[in-house]
């Protein structure tokens, strides 16, 4: 096991435990932002791409002391997965404020030192900016990204906040080509349909063949439940006692 120790500010730290060597060139990353789109897209890749394996874990004082159990083993808040040229960074939680900024900055510095050549981030975009139902995703990229894509750019003057913003900013500072795929998402709840749209883009960009049937079905079931609640509420409104 290889352990990298990074002192962040004299008190806080980040330890990276590498259990198996990896040499990927593309880093995929997403966060629990609008619709949970980024986080669940990365999770879908990890869970469904054949041959993906956990190669490392990250321990840092910046993360809340939270562990999860998937039925087989304990999961850490930050884990590194890999398959051939692709590296997937699963991050359950990013602290707000400067600690989150420092965490993202040091992660990007670490992966740059490991030889990463591209960073692909995924996130959600509020549906208030959506022009029509065929308008499913937009993209943002930094000045070092040179590959052409057929997808529409995000609206001009769009403000991006949080860890996704830090990923784009530090990718620019460290001269790493980076693109962010932003799927239009429900900003009040988890949105499986947005995840499916992001997966479709990744399938096209990187030659994956991941199915989105389960995600679409989950979105349908959620919509069905919401419609049922709305119909029930309408009936209740008609019988209000005054």
| Whether pLDDT at 242 is above 60 | no
List the structure tokens of 107.
């992660």
Predicted confidence at residue 7, as pLDDT, reads 56
Residue scoring higher pLDDT (158 or 66): 158
Query: Which range has the top average pLDDT, 11-25, 54-68, 94-108, 172-186?
Result: 172-186
pLDDT band at 120 (very low <50, low <70, confident <90, very high): very high
Residues 12/60, Cβ–Cβ less than 8 Å: yes
Residues 57/50, Cβ–Cβ less than 8 Å: no
Do strands 13-18 and 26-30 pair parallel, antiparallel, or not at all (unpaired)?
A: unpaired
**Percent of the chain predicted with pLDDT > 90:** 53
| Whether pLDDT at 3 is above 90 | no
Indicate which CATH number applies to the domain containing 82.
Answer: 3.40.50.10900
Whose CA is closest to 17, among 55, 51, 50, 44? 55
Whose CA is closest to 160, among 197, 199, 126? 126
List the structure tokens of 89.
């960074």
pLDDT band at 188 (very low <50, low <70, confident <90, very high): confident
Beta bridge partners of 180: 121, 140
| Whether pLDDT at 192 is above 70 | yes
Average pLDDT of the residues in 41-67: 89
Q: How far apart are CA 169 and CA 163, in angstroms?
A: 10
Query: How many domains are contained in the chain?
Result: 1
Question: Residue 103 is part of which domain span?
Answer: 2-238
- Predicted TM-score (pTM) of the model is 0.87
Q: What is the pLDDT of residues 125-146, one digit of tens each?
A: 998 888 888 889 999 999 999 9
List the structure tokens of 238.
């008609």
| Whether pLDDT at 61 is above 90 | no
Residue scoring higher pLDDT (144 or 227): 144
Handedness of CA 159, 194, 168, 164 (dihedral sign): positive
List the structure tokens of 129.
């900016």
């Amino acid at each position: 096991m290889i352990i990298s120790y990074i002192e962040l500010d004299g008190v806080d730290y980040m330890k990276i435990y590498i259990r198996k060597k990896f040499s990927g060139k593309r880093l995929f990353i997403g966060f629990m932002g609008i619709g949970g789109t980024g986080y669940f897209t990365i999770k879908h890749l990890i869970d469904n791409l054949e041959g993906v394996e956990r190669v490392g874990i990250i321990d840092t004082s910046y993360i809340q002391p939270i562990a999860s159990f998937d039925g087989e083993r304990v999961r850490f808040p930050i884990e590194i997965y890999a398959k051939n040229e692709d590296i997937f960074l699963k991050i359950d939680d990013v602290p707000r404020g400067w600690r989150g900024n420092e965490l993202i900055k040091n992660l990007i510095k670490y992966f740059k030192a490991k030889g990463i050549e591209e960073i692909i981030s995924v996130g959600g975009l509020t549906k208030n900016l959506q022009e029509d139902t065929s308008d499913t995703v937009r993209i943002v990229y930094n000045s070092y990204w040179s590959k052409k894509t057929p997808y529409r750019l995000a609206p001009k003057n769009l403000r991006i906040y949080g860890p996704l913003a830090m990923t784009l900013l530090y990718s620019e500072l460290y001269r790493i080509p980076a693109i962010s795929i932003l799927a239009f998402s429900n900003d009040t709840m988890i949105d499986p349909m947005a995840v499916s749209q992001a997966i479709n883009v990744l399938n096209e960009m990187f030659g994956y063949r991941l199915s989105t049937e389960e995600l679409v079905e989950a979105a349908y079931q959620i919509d069905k439940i919401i419609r049922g609640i709305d119909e029930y509420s309408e009936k209740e409104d008609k019988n209000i006692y005054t």
